[in-house]
Structure 1
Amino acid sequence: MAKILMKGNEAFGKAAIEAGCKYFFGYPITPQSELPEYLSRELPKIGGAFVQAESEVSAINMVYGAAGAGARVMTSSSSPGIALKQEGITYAAGAELPCVVINVMRGGPGLGSIQPSQSDYFMATRGGGNGDYRTPVFAPASVQEAVDMIMEAFDVADYYRTPVMVLADGMIGQMMEPVEFKESKKRQLPKKDWATVGTKGERKPNIINSLYLEADVLEQHCIKLDKKYNEIEKNEVQYEMYKTEDAELVFVAYGTTSRIVKTTIDLLRAEDIKVGLIRPKVLWPFPTEAFEKIPNAKNLLTVEMSMGQMVEDVKLAIEGKLPVHFYGRAGGMAPSPSEIVDKAKEIMGKELATGGAR
């Protein structure tokens, strides 16, 4: 299939349609508004439905209803809009309803800015709603990767019966890149015999619910969900290792920031400075195993468009075996390669000055 030059947000919408999504409920907010605009035009052409809800809260509850009927369904928003959807996301997690949620991140907190950011890491990976639940979180670094991940996200959602989030900063939503729409990896998906599609007189009614009034019953449900999350942690880790074989300083970055870091690595390598990159492609489950594959590393440097939210997971992954440093820009600012080069040289300079002591 030939590649097509598309804006990120519009490519996200086409990817959802290619994955079999026929229903979208959302609300416009910068920098993701082109996504619902695209779907409002294209979904009716395939017999689907686009609804611009009166609010993000309404939109996520419409997703709950469509998912409960067994449909492939999606919503999208940007940071403060996703915050409003958190109650509905935890309801969907509690009711075990598959759906895809796209967050095209902007600066925060609050209404913040409309510039790209990565400051929703905690909200996405910790679960922004109440209760014991997690959601798989894809983190694309290009429009093509976002397309591939969105298509895969629908399968992951159906396979595990869970909401899945695709976390892309506003830069990826707004940039234009050539993309192709390939078939996603095929999974043997379970039948949706739990969906509320009518009994046809052949079975008892299915009930979609996240309310458990008996404490012991809810506890058993939480234990069941936890077993599912353990399976996700075992099976759904994805990451990239870039020039880490001999790296003495290893960067950790995701999304657009990882592309900036790769430029930084090329600049430092040109000076014979041994650096590499661990790039989580899925933020939860976090790729802890990757940190066992950097035998020459003496320092880690986490680079983010935030105040350092991923640092916690990096520290947990490395288990105190190496120092973890941070460089970031916030509020919609992106770090430049030269800034990161300076930070890396500062860290490695101290290492040399102290004879490698930590």
Structure 2
Amino acid sequence: MAKVLMKGNEAIGEAAIRAGCLNYFAYPITPQSEVAEYLARRMPEVGGVFLQGESEVAVGYMLFGAAGAGARVFTTSSSPGISLMSEAISYIAAAQCPAVFVNIVRGGPGLGGILPSQGDYFQATKGIGHGDCRLLVMAPASVQEAVEMVMTAFPLAEKYRNPVMVIGDGLIGQMMEPVEFPDHLKTEPSNKDDWASNGMEHRGSDSRNLVKSLFLDPVQLNDNNLQLKAKYDRMRAEEVRFEAYNTDGPYRLLIVSYGTMSRVCRTSIDMLKAEGIEVGMIRPQTLFPFPEKAVSDAADSPSCTHVISIEMSMGQMVEDVERSIQGRRPVSWYGKCGGEIPTPEEIIEVVKERIG
């Protein structure tokens, strides 16, 4: 399959179409507005639907309604837009509907800025909506990986009947790289007739499918939350994804980093190796479920004396790194937030400080 040079945002939109999603609802917000611009043209060409909502709040409930009727749906947004959708995301999770969200993160908090950031880690993995709801969260480090994660997100959302989020910083959305769209990642929606409110006549059924998130009986509400927890536990057991880099031999320090920040760290590791300093890295590809065991096992290498979480935030993922290691190694954080990206040279300096 020939590769084509595409901007990340446009590749994300095309990936959704190639995955078999023909329903896109969105509201423009930088730095991901090119997804909507691209799909405003492409969706009519493939018989799909593009609808711009009057706000991100409206978009969230468009997704809920269409997903509840059994449609394969997705949206893209950026930090404040995801915040406005968070109520609907909680409803979608509680009602056990599949939907795919892409967050191309901008700086924050508040209005912040449009430059790259990873400051939405807490939001995506711990605080996406009220109540006991979680998303399966994937974090690409390249445009190609963003394509593959978007295409994979739809069957995962349907497997768990739960929202899935692909989270990337502004670099993922704005940079151009060669990409291909693997045919084997195109799938058909599964088992929607079993639960979706898509019409008794359509299903040839005498019984209604009721999609709801309201459980006034406390026993029923508790039972629904137990069902959700069982799904999240299953995600932890079956969906952990990560990449280990330079961990085959002894290394003095372990870096944990994700997304495009991990690409800078990879360059630093290669430069340090040339100086005779070995550093390993675990790159989470899923932020929830977090690769706790991989980080723990890598930190337990006898030669490893320190672990550092390197992020484009003020230190969010570092809490999951600390939880994974349980005090067996010193853990620290380094990063920037606001659009500045730590350089390989800065990371090298930080590594040398940590190993003395």
The interval holding the TM-score normalised by the smaller chain is: over 0.9
Measure, in 1, the Cα distance between the counterparts of 2:285 and 2:354.
26
Specify which of 250, 256, 265 is matched with residue 261 of structure 1: 265
- 2:69 aligns with 69
Paired AA for residue 198 in structure 2: V
- 1:354 aligns with none
Measure, in 1, the Cα distance between the counterparts of 2:31 and 2:77.
8
- 2:46 aligns with 46
| Structure 1 residue 332, shift from structure 2 partner | 1.6
Paired AA for residue 2 in structure 2: A
The 8 Å contact of residues 254 and 307 in structure 2, kept in 1 or not, is answered as yes
Measure, in 1, the Cα distance between the counterparts of 2:275 and 2:24.
50
- 1:35 aligns with 35
| Structure 1 residue 187, shift from structure 2 partner | 8.3
- 1:196 aligns with 197
- 1:207 aligns with 210
Q: Which moved more, 1:283-292 or 1:92-101?
A: 283-292
**What CA deviation, in whole Å up to 9, does each residue of 1:163-190 have, x standing for no partner?**
0000010011000000000035588974
Q: Which moved more, 1:148-157 or 1:295-304?
A: 295-304
The 8 Å contact of residues 151 and 184 in structure 1, kept in 2 or not, is answered as no
- Shift in alpha-carbon separation, 1:184–1:157, aligned structure 2, 3 A: farther
- 1:110 aligns with 110
For 1:216-235, list aligned pairs within 5 A: 216-235=219-238
Measure, in 2, the Cα distance between the counterparts of 1:60 and 1:187.
24
- 1:244 aligns with 247
Measure, in 2, the Cα distance between the counterparts of 1:297 and 1:60.
45
Give 3-state SS (helix, strand or coil) of 2:280's partner. strand
Give 3-state SS (helix, strand or coil) of 1:312's partner. helix
For 1:319-338, list aligned pairs within 5 A: 319-338=326-345
Measure, in 1, the Cα distance between the counterparts of 2:32 and 2:235.
28
Give 3-state SS (helix, strand or coil) of 1:343's partner. helix
- Shift in alpha-carbon separation, 1:96–1:78, aligned structure 2, 3 A: same
- Shift in alpha-carbon separation, 1:135–1:217, aligned structure 2, 3 A: same
**What CA deviation, in whole Å up to 9, does each residue of 1:61-100 have, x standing for no partner?**
0000110111110011001111111001000000001010
Between the two proteins, what is the percent identity of the paired residues? 54
Q: Which moved more, 1:95-104 or 1:296-305?
A: 296-305
- Shift in alpha-carbon separation, 1:186–1:293, aligned structure 2, 3 A: farther
Q: Aligned-pair RMSD on alpha carbons?
A: 1.3
For 1:122-133, list aligned pairs within 5 A: 122-133=122-133
The 8 Å contact of residues 152 and 184 in structure 1, kept in 2 or not, is answered as no
The 8 Å contact of residues 264 and 340 in structure 1, kept in 2 or not, is answered as yes
Specify which of 283, 306, 317 is matched with residue 310 of structure 1: 317
Paired AA for residue 261 in structure 2: T
The 8 Å contact of residues 251 and 301 in structure 1, kept in 2 or not, is answered as yes
Give 3-state SS (helix, strand or coil) of 1:293's partner. helix
Paired AA for residue 297 in structure 2: K
Measure, in 2, the Cα distance between the counterparts of 1:78 and 1:148.
20
Paired AA for residue 60 in structure 2: I
Paired AA for residue 327 in structure 1: Y
Measure, in 2, the Cα distance between the counterparts of 1:122 and 1:225.
20
Q: Which moved more, 1:160-169 or 1:124-133?
A: 124-133
Give 3-state SS (helix, strand or coil) of 2:54's partner. coil
Paired AA for residue 285 in structure 2: K
The 8 Å contact of residues 148 and 184 in structure 1, kept in 2 or not, is answered as no
| Structure 1 residue 127, shift from structure 2 partner | 3.2
**What CA deviation, in whole Å up to 9, does each residue of 1:120-155 have, x standing for no partner?**
000000132100111000000000000000000001
**What CA deviation, in whole Å up to 9, does each residue of 1:259-308 have, x standing for no partner?**
00001101111110010110000000000111243213111011000001
The 8 Å contact of residues 105 and 116 in structure 1, kept in 2 or not, is answered as yes
- 1:345 aligns with 352
- 1:271 aligns with 275
Measure, in 1, the Cα distance between the counterparts of 2:200 and 2:151.
30
- Shift in alpha-carbon separation, 1:10–1:186, aligned structure 2, 3 A: closer
Give 3-state SS (helix, strand or coil) of 1:332's partner. coil
Give 3-state SS (helix, strand or coil) of 1:264's partner. helix
Q: Where in structure 1 are there 5+ consecutive unaligned residues?
A: 350-358
Measure, in 1, the Cα distance between the counterparts of 2:189 and 2:46.
23
- Shift in alpha-carbon separation, 1:79–1:320, aligned structure 2, 3 A: same
**What CA deviation, in whole Å up to 9, does each residue of 1:219-266 have, x standing for no partner?**
011011111111011000000000023111010000010000001101
Paired AA for residue 198 in structure 1: G
Q: Does 1:142 align with 2:142?
A: yes
The 8 Å contact of residues 336 and 342 in structure 2, kept in 1 or not, is answered as yes
Specify which of 262, 273, 287 is matched with residue 291 of structure 2: 287
